[in-house]
Structure 1
Amino acid sequence: MARYYPQMQAFLNYIRTRKAGTGADAHIVDAALGDWIAAETTSGRVTGTWGYHQVADRMAKMAALLGRRADAAEYRSLADDIATAFTDAFYNETLGLYTSQGRQGSEGRHRPHRPSPSTRAWCPTTSARECPAAWSS
């Protein structure tokens, strides 16, 4: 892990500086993973942003394990910011669903309450125990 840490940092920085949006789209990544991550058509903004969060979250964990406290804090903060942006962009309060259109959407995965960034989990079930480990770690 330590050997390839600089390359992993470079990849995260690439996403942050070249793929992630700015302004109203801050932390939103439009990079379709739907072709191989889901059977149904999935918005590239949803899957791209989810993937970006996963990278930032894992980098925070790796930095902590390597004793890089400043990096760990930076990446944890970034992961939390991405989680907030994800929920703000895709969660429809009225429907209680995540949709690719956010507040305007009519389809999505059920979530009975608005998740907080501290959960760092976007699981379509009501119980964290039912979520895949990759979603709720």
Structure 2
Amino acid sequence: MDQPLTDSATVPLRASFAGDAGYLASDTSAQLKLQYATGRAYGISAHVDLIGVPLLEIDPQPDTGTVRTADATTTGTPCSAEYDSVLLSAQKLCPKVTTTLAPGKVTATSTVAQARIGLPGVPLIEGHTGLTAASSSQCGKATGSTSWHDRA
């Protein structure tokens, strides 16, 4: 049954029985609760303070935004080419949220092709072949993973 996902995630339900020789008529109504999935993925976000002084503030980008659906979907958020600042640089940031049905599952992934954290010439962390963070949730079970492939 394909139903629109409302803010309350419910649809009205009504059942009626006209009655017969053995049973009385009956009529009832209720709200049917829909199962739905939520998720969000973004390529980069940062908040760095040094003794209360903000050094770096990056709002989530690129960002799928909050996904809330009762359908099988995959977000189409485009990758961003790069983010570059004195403390942080990253290339090819790609977020994605995928939902599936039967069983209902939501998987959020974010990949970064190349990243450097630290001052120019003195990187604390640097990698060239990719960082991937992924999380999956399915009815009472959630898993997460990260992988980082250092320079080849």
**TM-score over 0.5 for the alignment?**
no
More helix by share: 1
| TM-score of the two chains, using structure 2 as the length reference | 0.27
Q: Which has the larger radius of gyration?
A: 2
Identify, as 1 or 2, the structure richer in strand. 2
